[in-house]
Homo-oligomer: A and B are copies of this chain.
């Protein structure tokens, strides 16, 4: 299992439009092979900043499978226009829990 992580900076005044677009876009990613779940969260301290976490079975399910799919094209069309700057996406592997 690997967790995709991105902190999203949404253009000022676009929060509601972004959340509506994300509500549509999440169906695109939820059907991807190896998708295990996601949360979109809103920052308390910095309005317009969101945290996206997506759990994948394997790294390649995200980097090759989803990103190489037609569903990702639609995802990008729906969401990428809201970001400024474009987010850095990284992956993390759990080492400890409590």
| Residue pair A91, B19 in contact (C-beta under 8 Å) | no
Using A37-B97, A37-B98 as known contacts, say yes or no to A92 and B30 having CB atoms under 8 A apart.
no
Does A23 count as interface, using CB distance less than 8 angstroms?
yes
| Residue pair A38, B93 in contact (C-beta under 8 Å) | no
Does A2 count as interface, using CB distance less than 8 angstroms?
yes
**Overall SS of chain A's interface:** strand
Residues on the B chain within 8 Å of A98, using CB: 26-27, 29-30, 37-38
In the complex this chain forms, how many copies of it are found? 2
| Residue pair B37, A96 in contact (C-beta under 8 Å) | no
Does A83 count as interface, using CB distance less than 8 angstroms?
no
| Residue pair B96, A19 in contact (C-beta under 8 Å) | yes
> In the complex, what's the smallest C-beta–C-beta distance from A37 to chain B, in angstroms?
7
Residues on the B chain within 8 Å of A90, using CB: 43-46, 49
Residues on the B chain within 8 Å of A30, using CB: 98
